Amino acid sequence: MSRCPVPEQEGQSSVSINAIDDVIHGRLRLGVMAYLSAVNPASFAELIERTGATNGNLSTHLGKLEAAGYVQQQKGYNGKRPQTLVHLTDSGRSAWLAYLEAMRHLLGTDQQ
Amino acid sequence: MDDKNSLLEDLDFAATLARDAANTPLLGGVYFLIWSGLLVPTLLVHGGVVQGWVPLDPSSIGLLWLGYAVVGITFSTVFGMRTANRPGSNTFLNRLSRASGIVLCTLIFTFATAISVAVSAERIGFEAYNLILAFAFGLNAFHLAVLGALSRKRYLRWSALMAGVAMVLTVFYCQDPVVYFIAALGVCLSMTLPGILEVRAEHRHEPVPSA
C-alpha cells in the first residue's frame, strides 16, 4: 500500500493519509472498484459503458489493479464472442473497505 | 482547495457508479413472462380438453406439455444470453435470482419425471400429475419470497403470497378439472404480474451518464 498526495485536513492525523491506498486512489480505478463492489464480476464492455473510459485507458488501470491483486481478469467467450470478465478479489474487497474507512476518517465523516 | 474539490468529485463519481450498480433492477422479468405466457394457454387447453370443451384427444396432453417445455427452454436460452450481457446482470440479487430460478426449474423437472415414472410403473394414479402444479407453486412462492425479502419489493412478497395460495388451492382441487383454471389464474398473479413489473422497472432504469 503506498501513500497518496491528498489534502490534509485540519485536525486530522497523518496516519489516515498514510492509509490511503494509492493503487485504488485514482478517478478511474476508484470508479471501477466502486462498480465492482456492487456488480461482481463485470464485463470489460460493461465497465467501458459505465465509466466512460477508453479501451486503452481502462486496460492500463485494470492492469494496475490486477498487479496489486485487487481484481482478476478472466478472458473467455460469451457464445462465439470473446469476453473479458473482471472479478473483484477478496483482497480487493478488503482493500476497498480499508480505502473507504481511511477516506471517511480523513474527511472527518466518521466523527459525525 | 483544488485538490480537495478534485478528491470530492472523484468520490462523488465513485459513489454514483456504486449507487447505480446497486440500483440495477431485477432482470428476471422476461423469464416470468416467457414461462407464464406459455403456461397459461397450456393450462387452459389442458383444462378444456379434460372438460371436453377442446376437441383434442386426451392422449395428446403429454405432447402439449412436451411442446411447452421445449418452446420454454428455447426462448429462455435465447433471452438468457441477452440478459447475461446486460449491465448489472451480476449484482447479488440478479445472481441469486438466476441461481434460484435454475434450481427451481431443475426441481420441477425432477419432480415431474418422478411422477411420470411412478405413473408408468402404476405405483400412483394419473391424478398425481396435478401435484406438479402444487409443487411448482410452492417452489415459486419460496423463490419470490426470498427475492422479495432481500430486494424489499412489495410486489414480490404479494406474488409469493399468491403463489402460496395457489399451491394450497391446487392441492385442494387436485382431482377436479377446475384445478387447471385455478392454476392459470395463479400463474397470472404470481408470474405474469411480477414479470410485467420487473420488465417495466428494467426499462425505466436509466444508468447515470458516465464521466
CA contacts within 13 A on the Cβ side of A59: 5
Nearest residue in chain A measured CA to CA from B5: A7
Does A34 sit within 8 Å of B87, measured CB to CB? no
Segment holding B77, helix H or strand E: helix B61-84
Q: How far apart are CA A84 and CA A75, in angstroms?
A: 4
Range scoring the smallest mean pLDDT among A1-5, B29-33, B162-166, B197-201:
A1-5
The residue written with cell numbers 413489473 in the block is B197
Is any Cβ of chain A less than 8 angstroms from the Cβ of B17? yes
Does B84 score more than 80 pLDDT?
A: no
Quick one: pLDDT at residue A112? 47
Q: Give me the pLDDT at residue B6, please.
A: 83
Instruction: Give residue A16's pLDDT.
Output: 55
Q: pLDDT class for B9, splitting at 50, 70, 90? A: confident
Average pLDDT, chain A: 84
Size of interface A-B (CB pairs under 8 A): 71
Establish if A12 touches chain B: CB-CB under 8 angstroms.
no
Q: Given this model, what pLDDT does residue B203 score?
A: 87
Which pLDDT tens digit goes with each residue over A48-86?
Answer: 999 999 999 999 999 999 999 999 999 998 878 899 999
Q: Which residue of B has its CA nearest to A52?
A: B210
Block residue for cell numbers 408408468 = B120
Place A29 in a pLDDT band, splitting at 50, 70 and 90.
very high
Chain A residue numbers with beta carbons less than 8 Å from the beta carbon of B207 are: 49-50
Task: Mark yes or no for CB contact B13/A27 under 8 Å.
Answer: yes
Specify the higher pLDDT residue, B138 or B4: B138
B5 interaction partners in chain A (CB closer than 8 Å): none
pLDDT reported for residue B207: 62
CB contact under 8 A, A6 and B88: no
- Separation CA B191–CA B198 (nearest Å): 11
- In this prediction, the answer to ipTM > 0.90 reads no
Residue A34 to residue B21: CA distance in whole angstroms? 9
**DSSP-assigned beta bridge partners for residue A61:** none
Residue A5's pLDDT band (cuts 50, 70, 90)? very low
Please give the Cα distance from B75 to B98 (Å, whole number).
Answer: 15
Q: Mean per-residue pLDDT for B180-193?
A: 97
The 10s digit of each residue's pLDDT in B50-64 is 999 999 888 889 999
What is the average pLDDT across A89-98?
A: 95
DSSP A2: -
Asked whether the beta carbons of residue B90 and residue A42 sit closer than 8 angstroms, the reply is yes
pLDDT at A109: 63
**A74 interfaces chain B, CB cutoff of 8 Å:** no
pLDDT band of residue A3 (cuts 50, 70, 90) is: very low
pLDDT of the residue at B5 = 80
Q: What is the CA radius of gyration of chain A?
A: 15
Given strand A81-88, what is the order of strands in its sheet?
A: A42-43, A81-88, A71-78
Judge whether B67 is closer than 8 Å to chain A, CB to CB. no
Chain A residues whose CB is inside 8 A of the B14 CB are 30-31, 33-34
